[in-house]
Amino acid sequence: MTQQPLLLLDVDGPLNPYAAPKRRPEGYDTHRLRPSWWVAKQEYLAAVQARQATRAKHAKPPAVRVKPLRVWLNPSHGEALLALPYELVWATGWMGEANTHIGPHIGLPELPYIRWSDLFGADPDGLHWKTRDVVAWAAGRPFVWVDDELGPQDGEWIAAHHPGPALALHVNPRIGLLAEDFARLREWAESSAVPGA
């Protein structure tokens, strides 16, 4: 019996090609979502802006109306991800909200997710803010981490600090996951199979 590797999924970039140059990439649907982190960020930015604009007047900042976040999702990605020989895990700033805002739109069941120790924090060694938590969460299990913000230093750090097979797979946020990425994920899982418990 073999233990499936983990597939650690970021949302923005791999599943939501937010930087695409078109209005909406072919095969994707547009969703207008209000995850709590988005609302909090927009309220904070609006409050800072309002304070700056009204500082001389000593006026109370006006109430903020937060516009929803535009997210592009490909409904075929859920089935394609579930067909891979992995245990799927959210590795996104959306954390558990990916289960309510993202998963249902692409046909994914509720998935476990990584709780970040310092959401969007700066790393002293210049690593991605998720890298250390990803390795700690994987706890030696084989994994592929799919993200649009990975750099070479992240892959090098993972290789030096993770005892099992691992791959940091960068996905271009202008195009999201492609058929070639799914093929690479399948090939990596099959070549990295390890005996399970």
Dump pLDDT digits (tens) for 21-66. 978 999 999 999 999 888 888 888 877 777 776 655 555 555 667 8
C-alpha torsion 151→83→74→114, nearest 10: -50
pLDDT value for 162 = 97
143-162 mean pLDDT: 96
Assign domain 2-24+73-195 to a CATH class: alpha beta
Q: Express as a percent the part of the chain with pLDDT over 90.
A: 73
pLDDT value for 196 = 47
> Does pLDDT of 109 surpass 70?
yes
Closest CA to 141 of 13, 4, 49, 15: 4
Boundaries of every domain in the chain: 2-24+73-195
